[in-house]
A and B are shown apart, each in its own frame.
Chain A
Amino acid sequence: MSMQSWLPLLILAGPLTLGLIIFMLPENSVRTRTTLNLLAALIKLGMVGWMIWHVYRGQHFESRIVLMSDFDLAMQVGPLSVLFLGLSSVLWLATTIYAVGYLEGSPHRSRFFGFFSLCVAATAGVAMASNLFTFLLFYELLTLATYPLIVHRGTDIARRAGQTYLVYTIGGGTLLLAGTVWLYTLTGTLEFAPQGGFVRTLGQAHHADLTAIFMLLIVGLGVKAALVPLHSWLPQAMVAPAPVSALLHAVAVVKAGVFGIVRVLYDVFDIEFAAQELGVTTPLAIIAAVTILYGSLRALFQDDLKRRLAFSTVSQVSYITLGIALAGPLAAIGGLVHLVHQGLMKITLFFCAGNLAETLGIHKISEMKGVGQRMPFTMAAFTLAALGMIGMPPIAGFISKWYLGLGALQMEQNWVIWILIASTLLNAAYFLPIIYAVWFCDPPASWPVMRKPTHQETTWALLLPPVATALLSLTAGMLAALSFSPLEWALFIIHSQFWR
């Protein structure tokens, strides 16, 4: 086999093997574990970078292993996979550094990092899967690998959050399985077809079946994508440590759900077929719009910082679904680019929330008055990301909203503009008071003493990742017109794959 067919397998096998090795490491071999983790993250980043370059020049990477007759474990790296793969490998590096600092001195780190690596492997599999069967396989693997991370703390609350998570995700997975098998009995194939899907050939008689299958698949994926009313697991899973929240909200889980929706709409059904023949995209857009408003409304009333951020995720992730479901190229660009932008901004916010909790023991928004003086860099990163979420230019979030708005006008769906305006106002309503309190209110007389006193506001491992991701989200917005920016890549996907 050539390099082309080895690389996807390597990207998958790397973190998988790493996870298994880390399980075997004794608890106190901190240095070996950290080195291995960082090395693996860097190597993966390098490989993904190499692939991005070659995909840009029109090459594809494909690996295929026969599982049963008719069923292959098939992975293919094209422009769309690279978008998700690139995001997850950049954020994996950031989260690894953060997690090393965050978990310093806490028990069961071998277990934590082992499952963490398995999550990354599963995410890579989700991104690269080139048929629905393989997608399903890694999608479920992701569920299993995240569960131990959610219950990591071993408290009763954590156990219940884990239970809720499983009820939702395994329930969703079951529906996804049913839909997939049904689809297979009709089509006899599950290979993704970026040029027009693979269900068109079925003919008029099967449209009712196809609509039902579409619903099964979307509900199954909608659980992880946190579409209302399937979102409740996400705020509950907040009990997990901050790096896990980052993983759930930005790197892996919700993104896998949304990415699946993109795959189903484009590579299984074909967006035009779904929009015009089946007429299923408008209901999906409406659900996404409801989710956007509902998530923002709920976020408004949370005092717990991480819960507010969680509801904000519910809302923000649905921008992606909305953009895709509008079934026009410009809106799709807005949706796809938000996949990256939301990841960058939301991971910054969660890192900052984790810093507050770890350094000063702050969990509630009402305790955040004046904290900007105590932790200026953390809070600057937080402010940048929050402003981006609201959609302020030139931060990344603005680009997403701009293209979503343009796309809505292009498809003559003017109601979406109102949704975007309302959501932006709500975003401002739940982020601006925090920013005001942080910078302009008087701090309390004294701050709690840090666990490990340093010269900076907190340890380097905790401080660098949020600052870096905040800067990245600023750069992604400011340099959006450069090639290899997320926006240009989204344009490239739309040009090369979907609209011919």
Chain B
Amino acid sequence: MLMLDWGILLIGLPLSGALLTFIFHAQSRWLGIGTALTINGSLAALLMQFFASTGTQRYPIGSWGAPLGIELYLDGLSITMLSMCSLVGLAVSCYAPAYFHMQSADNRASTATDSVPFNKRSGSGPVRQINKGEYFWPLWLLLWTGLNALFLSADIFNLYVTLELIGLSAVALTALAGSQEALTSAMRYLLISLLGSLCYLLGVALLYHAFATVDLTLLAERMTAVPATWASLGLMATGLALKTALFPLHFWLPAAHGSAAAPVSALLSALVVKASFYLLLRLWLTLFEAFNPGVPDLLGLMGAAAVIWGSLQALRQARLKLLVAYSTVAQLGYLFIAFPLAAGHAGAWYGALYLALSHALAKGAMFLAAGNIQLFAGHDQITALERVAQQLPVSLMAFALAGVSIIGLPPSGGFIGKWLLLEAAISQGHWGWAIIILAGGLLAAGYIFKVIGYAFNQATTPHAVQPVPAVMQWSALLLAIGSLLLGLFAAQPLALLAVGSPFHSISLP
């Protein structure tokens, strides 16, 4: 019964944190960091209990059973995703206060020099700068609530609610940057996100109509091959692929991730897109795998196209943050390549999820480092990144180490994930997929080292630069180191993933 408490705490803590930081906004910084720490603490407790009991857990909230009440469900897959959220969430929570503090200092400086104050229109006497940090906390903790709830939910309507919560808070966070570009892309992101949720909701309605339940386990027992099943599969897959930015539905992602504030970009790229991927995977594994009308091949092809297209676009970018954003498009493609491969080799799921996990850490680190570089140099033009290696070594190291994982070089989590995917592909003789997997790594090396190469350049004429606080540099570096450690300690996370055999396979890769 104690397990239940930790699981519910993981939803309750960020929710109450969101409310508290909203009400007591002056103290939001400490409240927020405190919430992040307690969430990590309860996750650690949950993990310990989970290891002690080794089995899936199901908690009826308020002791109401499945058809009537809400049930939470926990297995290896969901607890891995929860851990991913906590790690990235903690790093971003440490990073964000300093980032927004610097930004508002920047704004104050620029409004002081400008002849016309930037927000004179508000007309409220002495200019009170909007401190974005105060808005960041409630929104981010709400997002965290949504993420944790999504990974713990076990019925498709509840999942819809969490999906919507995630989508709306993510959009608001994107708009927080406040620039013209950010507002436009946030607007587009909002429409896409709503469209995706709507598709998903339609699928839920169809399934509920046909099988009279929204509980995942009951649905899995009752589902038959009727038109409603096919239609809901199509709708839900489309909606979730849209939210996961699967090629060619990725068009909204680079602008949104590229223009948001650095900590927000890190959250969007590392966690938000993974949530919809997790949901698609969960639905696929519990409901739709038995009804297989060639969807895996289609998803795999789109994933392969994403790997190639996203990487090529990343290579072409002149701006650092856009490069990193396109890299996300490419790396998400890898997750979908697992669908066609997993039919004959369950190791592919482990590979894909390991990639998702290490990508979360690495991409989080990369966006944070990119934010540092942008603050340091005042711009993020890749060809003009001279002296970064000399003056911002910790951030560049974070970028490079995260890059190692993204490329999939050993020793890194990305390497283990790619190894497992490759093994699944080659052992079944699927050479086409194997070549895509390898080619994606080569292209990734191209765009990562393009940045690093320019960062080593000596400056011919010194520019004005701004120092970056140590906490911002180190939270990026620690995340990146985490993605490398995943490559050195792979046995434990893989064993964790396998608990409750979410992939219908008893064999570990």
A123 to chain B minimum Cβ distance, whole angstroms, is 15
Q: Do B422 and A177 touch across chains, with their CB atoms under 8 A apart? A: yes
Would A108 and B390 count as touching, CB distance under 8 A? yes
**Which residues from chain B contact A151 at a C-beta distance below 8 Å?**
453, 456
A162-B449, A174-B441 known, 14 other contacts, Cβ within 8 Å? A67-B491, A107-B390, A111-B393, A140-B410, A144-B409, A154-B456, A159-B454, A166-B445, A170-B407, A170-B409, A177-B438, A178-B434, A181-B423, A185-B423
Contact A68 B490 (CB under 8 A): yes
Cβ A171 vs Cβ B442 within 8 A: yes
Number of interface residues of A (CB under 8 A): 39
The 10 closest A-B pairs by CB, nearest first: A154-B458, A185-B427, A137-B410, A68-B490, A181-B422, A159-B453, A170-B445, A151-B456, A140-B409, A154-B456
Within 8 A of B (CB), among A150-175: 151-156, 158-159, 162-163, 166, 170-171, 173-174
Minimal Cβ-Cβ distance residue in B for A158: B456
- A136 on interface, CB distance cutoff 8 Å: yes
**Bound complex: CA A173 to CA B415 (Å):** 12
B410-427 vs A, CB cutoff 8 Å, 1 = contact: the mask equals 110000100100110011
Q: How would residues 107 to 128 of chain A score, 1 for a CB under 8 Å from any chain B CB and 0 otherwise?
A: 1100100000000000000000
- Closest-CB distance, B238 to chain A (whole angstroms): 33
Residue of A nearest to B416 (CB): A68
The answer, yes or no, to whether A460 is at the interface (CB within 8 Å) is: no
Q: Which of A143, A154, A163, A181 has the most CB of B within 10 A?
A: A181
Query: Which residues of B pack against A, CB within 8 Å?
Result: 386, 389-390, 393, 404, 407, 409-411, 416, 419, 422-423, 426-427, 434, 438, 441-442, 445, 449, 452-454, 456-458, 488-491, 494, 508-509
In the complex formed, the residue of B with least CB distance to A110 is: B393
Q: Could you say which residues of chain A place their CB within 8 Å of the CB of B389?
A: 111, 148, 154
Which chain A residues (193-219) contact chain B, with CB distance < 8 Å? none
Chain A minimum-CB-distance residue to B495 = A69
Check A182 for interface membership: any CB of B closer than 8 A.
Answer: yes
Closest residue of chain A to B427, judged by CB?
A185
Contact residues of A with B, CB < 8 Å?
A: 23, 66-69, 71, 73, 107-108, 111, 136-137, 140-141, 143-144, 147-148, 151-156, 158-159, 162-163, 166, 170-171, 173-174, 177-178, 181-182, 184-185
Q: Which residues of B contact A67 (CB under 8 A)?
A: 488-491
A162 contacts which chain B residues (CB < 8 A)? Answer: 449, 453, 456
Contact A154 B491 (CB under 8 A): no
Residues of B within 8 A of A159 (CB): 453-454, 456-457
Chain B residue nearest to A171 (CB atoms) is: B442
The answer to whether residues A185 and B393 also contact, given A67-B488, A140-B409 and a CB cut-off of 8 A, is no
| CB of B361, distance to nearest CB on chain A (Å) | 18
Q: Within the complex, what minimum Cβ distance (angstroms) separates A119 from chain B?
A: 15
Judging by beta carbons under 8 Å apart, are A155 and B404 in contact? Answer: no
Q: What are 18 A-B residue pairs whose CB atoms fall within 8 Å in the complex?
A: A67-B489, A68-B490, A68-B491, A68-B494, A69-B494, A107-B390, A111-B393, A137-B410, A148-B389, A159-B457, A171-B442, A177-B419, A178-B422, A178-B434, A181-B423, A182-B426, A185-B423, A185-B426
Given known A-B contacts A68-B494, A68-B509, A166 and B449 have beta carbons under 8 A apart: yes
Residues in A neighbouring B423, C-beta threshold 8 A: 181, 184-185
| Chain B residue with Cβ nearest A143 | B409
> How long is the Cα–Cα vector from A178 to B423 in the complex, in angstroms?
9
Contacts of A73 in B (CB 8 A): 488
Known: A69-B508, A162-B453. A174 touches B434 (CB 8 A): no
- Chain B residues, CB < 8 A from A163: 449, 453
Pairwise interchain contact A170-B438, C-beta atoms closer than 8 A:
no
Chain B residues whose CB sits within 8 angstroms of the CB of A166 once the complex forms: 445, 449
Q: For A153, A163, A174, which residue has the most chain B Cβ atoms within 10 angstroms?
A: A174
Residue ID in chain B nearest A159 by CB atoms: B453
Chain B residue nearest to A163 in the complex (CB):
B453
Which chain A residues lie closer than 8 Å to B407 at the CB level?
170
Cross-chain contact of A155 among B390, B438, B458 (Cβ < 8 A):
B458
Across-interface contacts of B488 in A (CB, < 8 A): 67, 73
Minimum distance in angstroms from B476 CB to a CB of chain A = 16
Interface centre among A68, A107, A148, A171, by most B CB within 10 Å? A68
Separation of A315 and B427 alpha carbons in the complex (Å): 38
Q: Is the interface of B mostly helix, strand, loop or mixed?
A: helix
Q: Which residues of B contact A184 (CB under 8 A)?
A: 423
Q: Which residues of A contact B390 (CB under 8 A)?
A: 107-108, 154
Distance (Å) between the CB of A485 and the closest chain B CB? 36
Distance between Cα atoms of A185 and B434 in the complex (Å): 13
Closest A residue to B393 by beta carbon equals: A111
Chain A residues contacting B454 (CB-CB under 8 Å) are 159
A15 to chain B, nearest CB (A): 16
Contacts of B427 in A (CB 8 A): 185
Which listed residue, A107, A144, A148, touches B404 by the CB 8 Å rule? A144
Q: A67-B488, A185-B427 are in contact. Are A174 and B438 (CB under 8 A)?
A: yes
Let me know if A181 and B445 touch, CB within 8 A. no
List residues of chain A with CB within 8 A of the CB of B409: 140, 143-144, 170, 173
B493 (CB) vs chain A CBs: closest residue: A68
With both beta carbons as reference points, the residue of chain A lying nearest to B422 in the complex is identified as A181
Known contacts A162-B453, A181-B426, A170 near B442 by CB under 8 Å: yes
> Taking the nearest CB of chain A, how far is it from the CB of B490, in angstroms?
4
A70: min CB distance to chain B, Å: 8
Q: What is the distance, in angstroms, from B447's C-beta to the closest C-beta of chain A? A: 12
A185 to B488, CA, bound (A): 21
| Smallest CB separation, B47 vs chain A (Å) | 19
Contact B411 A141 (CB under 8 A): yes
Query: What separation, in Å, do the CA atoms of A136 and B408 have in the docked complex?
Result: 12
| Nearest residue, chain A, Cβ from B490 | A68
Are B491 and A178 in contact (CB-based, < 8 A)?
no
Distance to closest chain B CB from A152 (angstroms)? 8
Across the interface, name the chain A residue whose C-beta is closest to B441: A174
Q: Which residues of A contact B386 (CB under 8 A)?
A: 154
Q: Which residue on B lies nearest to A170, using beta carbons?
A: B445
In the bound complex, residues from chain A placing their C-beta under 8 Å from that of B490 are 67-68, 71
* Inter-chain contacts of A148 with B (CB < 8 A): 389, 456
| B393 close to A141 (CB less than 8 A) | no
CB-CB < 8 A to A136: which residues of B? Answer: 410
Chain A residues near B441: list those with CB within 8 A.
Answer: 170, 174
Bound CA span A110–B365, Å: 24
* Shortest Cβ gap from B134 to chain A (Å): 36
A149 to chain B, nearest CB (A): 11
In the assembled complex, the Cα of A153 lies from the Cα of B416 at a distance in Å of 33
Least CB distance, B239 to chain A, in whole angstroms: 35
Alpha-carbon gap, A107 to B437, bound state (A): 40
Residues of B within 8 A of A156 (CB): 457
CA distance A151 to B458 in the complex (A): 11
CB distance from A71 to the nearest CB of B (A): 8
Most buried by A among B404, B410, B454: B410
Least CB distance from B433 to A in Å reads 12
| B397 and chain A: residue at smallest CB distance | A23
Determine how close the nearest CB of chain A comes to the CB of B177; give it in whole angstroms.
32
Name the residue on A nearest B424 (C-beta): A185
In the bound assembly, the distance between CA atoms of A181 and B437 in angstroms comes to 12
Distance in angstroms from B448 CB to nearest chain A CB is 10
* Shortest distance between the CB of A151 and any CB in chain B (Å): 5
- Distance of A456 from chain B, by nearest CB (Å): 32
Q: How far is the CA of A158 from the CA of B456 in the complex (A)?
A: 9
Residue of A nearest to B489 (CB): A67
For the complex, give the distance between the alpha carbons of A67 and B415 in Å: 12
In the complex the two chains form, what is the Cα distance from A155 to B490 in whole Å?
39
A22 to B404, CA, bound (A): 21
User: For residue B429, which residue of chain A has the nearest CB?
Assistant: A185
Cα separation A154 to B458 with both chains bound (whole Å): 5
Q: Once the chains are docked, how many angstroms separate the CA of A387 from the CA of B130?
A: 75
Q: Which B residues are CB-close (under 8 A) to A170?
A: 407, 409, 441-442, 445
